[in-house]
Structure 1
Amino acid sequence: MDTTDPAPSRLSLWLDLIRWNRPAGWLLLLWPTLSALWLAAGGFPGLHLVLVFTLGTILMRSAGCCINDVADREFDRHVKRTARRPVTSGAVSVGEALKLGAALALLAFLLVLSTNTPTILFSLAALAITIAYPYAKRWVSMPQAVLGVAFGFGIPMAWSAVTGTVPVEAWLLCLGNLCWVLAYDTEYAMVDRDDDLKIGIRTSAITLGRFDVPAVMAFYLLFVALWALVGARAGLGLPYALGLAAALVQVGWHFRLIRDRSRDGCFRAFRENHWIGFSVFAGLVVDLLLR
């Protein structure tokens, strides 16, 4: 009797390609974007915009996974954690992955078309950076900064969708979000540091060297400080401050996870980062509700 496992369906391979079973990735994009929506609107921004940005975030993160796996397929073969990804293993062809990514990005763009011209223009810039990011690892010492720019585009897009403008508060949120991405994606890079050194990929974990853990903590603190500044400028009060305090408590826990630089600890810290974003968002929503 044949006891071999059946070949996975195309749908299951596509879902694996876009990391459907790992929602932490798109949650890291979603919480800052929703925070910008709520802050720009001074409360609930309306069901239409919530759906556009929630679905758009999921679709664009999925499209980014397709692009990333195509760009990194040769590197991923030499990394334990990524060697079995569908494109790397040959289960999904390069052409198939690119077509899927293009279809997902098109769906996201169709959603953005229901907003306004500034938001549409921001979405085109976001797409360009999303495509460029996977190749930054070959030339940029800290490609996590490029990812931070890509992941932050939801903030000015959200603000422009609500008000048609992008004030200084939105850019301060972007800068803070960039610091947050540098923190958690450096944790992620610390997981693969040994493999990345062998194959010649550039990452912040390699560039920072023995200062990686202090740098991650500094990035977290800058993130909280900048978002606290925006809260002060917006007149937010105790609930928002409690959300930021909850984020700081988690930062302390992350230090315990990454201080010995173990793969498991660093990977867990990365995977749990979306709770930091949720804490800040929850504090913001409650604060605006109580106004």
Structure 2
Amino acid sequence: MSAAQGGDSSEAPALPDAIADHPLLRCAPPALLPFIQLARLDRPIGWWLLLLPCWESSALASAALHEAPNLFHLTLFFIGAVVMRGAGSTYNDYVDREIDAKVERTRLRPLASGRVTPRAALAFIVAQCLIGLAVLLSFNALTIALGLISPLIVLIYPFAKRFTSWPQAILGCAFAYGALLGWTAQTGALGAPALFLYAAAIFWTVGFDTIYALQDLRDDAIVGVRSTARLFGKRVQIAVGALYATSIASAVTAVFAAGGGWFAYLGVAAYAAHLAWQIAETRENVAPSTALRLFRSNRDAGLLLFAGFAAQSLAFLF
């Protein structure tokens, strides 16, 4: 994709929620920088949060089968999460380019600022989706069928903030979807543990994306964008606490349905402790930098849960 297709890409202004010194921003050719920003490759927390339900589900399935973690599947999910998060983010920016231009935190995004043309963004979406499709076709038939449904949820999400105060719930259904795919890829069937883990990931996503939305309360009110952060208002700490508590309870039930195991339950306990810390730090008037830090910390929360499940799958081998 040429610079001519993408517009003026000689400069890539640092975006507020990006890692300013990310190696890709330092080393990539200038013409590629807007597309790196479109795909959020300078903001890896997004693909981590999309990837972790896949890894957690795959590891829990391995534990249920008394098998070692499937490294091939974990690698495929990593590739798929990076490219599909990029495709989803590009699509979201394409739909929201006019709104983004009015919001301080998003006005310098490549489409909102005119550094990438809408036509080039659509071509970029297609390219990323083709890579994602190649990854999906590496799995079994049930996983492929389920995977082909998930883009329908992604297509709805950018419009949700225009008609509901619960766009985070739709995002949760999309971001948590890997909790189904990791299980079916390993077992060939859709079981109760996967459904409970999917629920856990949905409530987790709604919680952490509510924290993320606290950064934009003022601008969202001005442009009329709805969110759970605006809906909960002064009760946001209680609401996030309830969401996280439901996520923890669902994760415990998923482990029980999968056959239990001390390491798996320890993983849930560590996950719960991390979420409790987040709840203690959450306020309606929290500083944007603090909201972003809490949001990003969910990579560690998800890794703690995955580590417990992976350790359980390894423990059954001895």
> Are residues 6 and 35 of structure 1, via their aligned partners in 2, closer, same or farther at CA, if it must alter by over 3 Å?
closer
- Residue identity opposite 2:152 in structure 1: A
- Residue identity opposite 2:105 in structure 1: R
Q: 2:144 aligns with which of 106, 120, 125?
A: 120
Match of 1:208 in 2: 232
Q: Tell me if the contact between 2:215 and 2:292 (Cα under 8 Å) persists in the aligned partners.
A: yes
Q: 1:93-138: per-residue Cα shift (whole Å, max 9, x none)?
A: 1111111111101110111112122212212211111122111111
Q: Does 1:14 align with 2:35?
A: yes
Q: Tell me if the contact between 1:173 and 1:227 (Cα under 8 Å) persists in the aligned partners.
A: yes
Q: Does 1:56 align with 2:77?
A: no
Match of 2:269 in 1: 245
Percent identical among aligned pairs is: 35
- Within 5 A, what are the aligned runs for 1:80-229? 80-229=104-253
TM-score normalised per structure 2: 0.86
Q: Tell me if the contact between 2:50 and 2:178 (Cα under 8 Å) persists in the aligned partners.
A: yes
- Give the match's secondary structure for 1:84: coil
Q: Does 1:269 align with 2:290?
A: no
Count of matched residue pairs: 287
> Are residues 226 and 193 of structure 1, via their aligned partners in 2, closer, same or farther at CA, if it must alter by over 3 Å?
same
Match of 2:51 in 1: 30
Q: Distance in 2 between matches of 1:89 and 1:44?
A: 48
- Give the match's secondary structure for 1:165: coil
Between 80-89 and 38-47, the greater mean CA deviation after superposition: 38-47
Residue 6 of structure 1, CA deviation: 5.2
Match of 2:27 in 1: none
Higher normalized contact order (CA 8 Å, seq sep 6+, divided by chain length): 2
Q: Tell me if the contact between 2:248 and 2:272 (Cα under 8 Å) persists in the aligned partners.
A: yes
Match of 2:99 in 1: 75
Q: Does 1:41 align with 2:62?
A: yes
Between 146-155 and 110-119, the greater mean CA deviation after superposition: 110-119
- Residue identity opposite 1:278 in structure 2: L
Q: Tell me if the contact between 2:60 and 2:255 (Cα under 8 Å) persists in the aligned partners.
A: no
Q: Tell me if the contact between 1:144 and 1:204 (Cα under 8 Å) persists in the aligned partners.
A: yes
Residue 232 of structure 1, CA deviation: 2.0
- 5+ residue gaps, structure 1: none
Q: Distance in 1 between matches of 2:68 and 2:111?
A: 40
- Residue identity opposite 1:27 in structure 2: W
Q: 1:133-166: per-residue Cα shift (whole Å, max 9, x none)?
A: 1111111220100001111221212222222211
Q: Tell me if the contact between 1:33 and 1:53 (Cα under 8 Å) persists in the aligned partners.
A: yes
Q: CA RMSD in A?
A: 1.7
Q: 1:208-244: per-residue Cα shift (whole Å, max 9, x none)?
A: 2222111111111111111011112223333222222
Residue 56 of structure 1, CA deviation: 0.7
Q: Does 1:282 align with 2:307?
A: yes
- Residue identity opposite 2:275 in structure 1: V
- Give the match's secondary structure for 2:42: coil
Q: Distance in 2 between matches of 1:245 and 1:7?
A: 45
Q: Tell me if the contact between 1:257 and 1:268 (Cα under 8 Å) persists in the aligned partners.
A: no
Q: 1:42-79: per-residue Cα shift (whole Å, max 9, x none)?
A: 34343332222111111100100100101111111121
Q: Distance in 2 between matches of 1:266 and 1:216?
A: 13
Residue 182 of structure 1, CA deviation: 0.7
- Give the match's secondary structure for 1:159: helix
> Are residues 230 and 6 of structure 1, via their aligned partners in 2, closer, same or farther at CA, if it must alter by over 3 Å?
closer
> Are residues 238 and 164 of structure 1, via their aligned partners in 2, closer, same or farther at CA, if it must alter by over 3 Å?
closer
- 5+ residue gaps, structure 2: 1-8, 13-29
Q: Distance in 2 between matches of 1:117 and 1:251?
A: 35
Q: Distance in 2 between matches of 1:6 and 1:180?
A: 38
